[in-house]
Amino acid sequence: MRVLKRMRVRKGAPALRNVPVRPDFGDAYLALRAAAADGVPGAATAIHQLTVLGAVLPDVSGFTPAVAAAILPNPTHTRATAMTTKLKSNTPSGLAPDSKAAKLAGAARVKDAGARLSQKRYDVKRPDGNPLMFGCSPVERPSEYDNALIGVYFKSQLRRQGVAVELSDWERALLAESVTKDKWVGSLPNGDYYGGGSPGDYVPAHRVKALLDDTISGGIYLNPVVLDTAVITRPLLSGQLFPFIDVKPITGRRVQVPVMENLSVSWGTGPGTAVAPFNTASLVSPLDTAVQNVQGFIELSNDLLADSPVNIGTAVVELFGERLKSELDRVIAVGNGYNEPLGITLASGVAAVNSDNGTGGPVTVSDAESLIFSIPVQYRQQDWGPCFIGSDVAYSRFRGLPVGPGDERRVFGQGMMGTDDTQRYQLFEYKFRVANDLPNTRLAFGCLKRYRMYQRLGMEIVRESGGRTLALSNTSLVGIRARFGGRPIDTNAFAVMTDLQN
């Protein structure tokens, strides 16, 4: 009844002040009051018949079938069948005929803030037409809704950190809607971390809302999971190494994974001969990995941040993803393991192979063959995705090997200048992944699926405007901070040659 009293009465509609309030009549009474407030002829008379005169079947001509069905117990009554549909345009077509909202006949459907945006995500395709996979799931491009949410979240965090940027009513509604509609990850002030590793490992909606409303923290360590996936999408699209490794979400700053050795067995043991038991002291060993932060900054004008109609958040995320693509490939190949993930070529325990001619060169076919046969046969199977990892110069030297003196045909095939054969980048039917951070003297071969990288979800948007230089130039440093850790989980799956032709 409180809602109905606030309804605006059309000009010329019958006054309801003298109509008795009879909530005991239920939906029929509410439907009639809504119709009377909407200025429908005969509505006030029907209320009078129902409440004052006690009429069992009031006159319902002029009402929609849904309203008439609420008023008349018998919808086959002659008055019900003779009804017109004057109120039909006021009843939302998407409502069920027997719903309470349809009976009121004056309700209007209000779309959510994100309903006007497309939420369609398109799968990313490889050049051969197959979907690009990330783990067990296909990679998807961010939808229109995702990009808008990233931009609104970015603006809200900058506003929390002092940028004179205002959120429109629609942007506020979109952010509030995302709290209950989307998945959020990150850290809470009490130390709890929600990393999205399982369906129940996301921040509860009430905690997200409380932190976003907090005037002190503002939830700066929380973000919608679409921000993490949008940053990772670009490295997956065009990265050389990162799309093919094993990536796992984690919930801490360090990762300790147990490594189990193979059991020993004995054959043909004669009677009275004791079987040597397996020494369980070396059965399980730890594999410790530290998670390091990686951050990228861009200097932007304060006026641009405050006034630009461009979605600055999406633009910064794209720039960060583009830079992260090369950085992730670099640390997978040559990471030092101290303040960044440990790279394949610097990991201890990786098989070391010598080249035939040393750094003086030239490279030989047997150099590539030696690398291939330096790892166990199970890792050379195509199911594990084995590949060469080296610089583009090293690849060109192998592709340029002639068949022999006086025979300029190439050992690994013709077509050095952009044919389909060359663009496949492979040697001996194994893919060649280009990592130009490796020196020309270093070449690796191994199974990228045996390299594991841990991603701690929950990126952080930071802004720095202090200092004389930034103040005088009216600019701010805006950046994104992410966290990764990684190392080879089985060094037997890799071999490295460090003395190729310089």
- pLDDT tens profile 301-359: 877 777 665 567 777 877 888 888 889 999 999 998 888 999 999 998 899 999 999 98
| Position 186 pLDDT exceeds 60 | yes
- 43 phi/psi in degrees, rounded to 5: -70, -45
| Position 396 pLDDT exceeds 60 | yes
For residue 283, the model assigns a pLDDT of: 47
Please tell me the number of Cα atoms within 13 Å of 48 on its side-chain side.
Answer: 9
What separation in angstroms does the CA of 191 have from each of 96, 110, 194, 217, 252?
46, 39, 10, 14, 10
For residue 476, the model assigns a pLDDT of: 82
Cα separation, 104 vs 81, whole angstroms: 20
β-bridge partners, 455: 249, 484
For residue 433, the model assigns a pLDDT of: 92
Specify the amino acid at residue 446: G
| Position 160 pLDDT exceeds 80 | no
| Position 295 pLDDT exceeds 80 | yes
For residue 498, the model assigns a pLDDT of: 93
Cα separation, 146 vs 125, whole angstroms: 20
For residue 215, the model assigns a pLDDT of: 52
Is pTM beyond 0.75? Reply is no
Mean pLDDT in the chain? 72
- 483 phi/psi in degrees, rounded to 5: -135, 130
For residue 206, the model assigns a pLDDT of: 75
Q: Which of 363, 433, 427, 343 is nearest to 392 (CA)?
A: 433
Highest mean pLDDT among 25-39, 158-172, 189-203: 158-172
| Position 300 pLDDT exceeds 90 | no
pLDDT tens per residue, range 375-395? 999 999 888 889 999 999 999
Beta-carbon contacts of 373 under 8 Å, excluding residues fewer than 6 positions away, are 380
Task: Give the mean pLDDT of 95-120.
Answer: 61
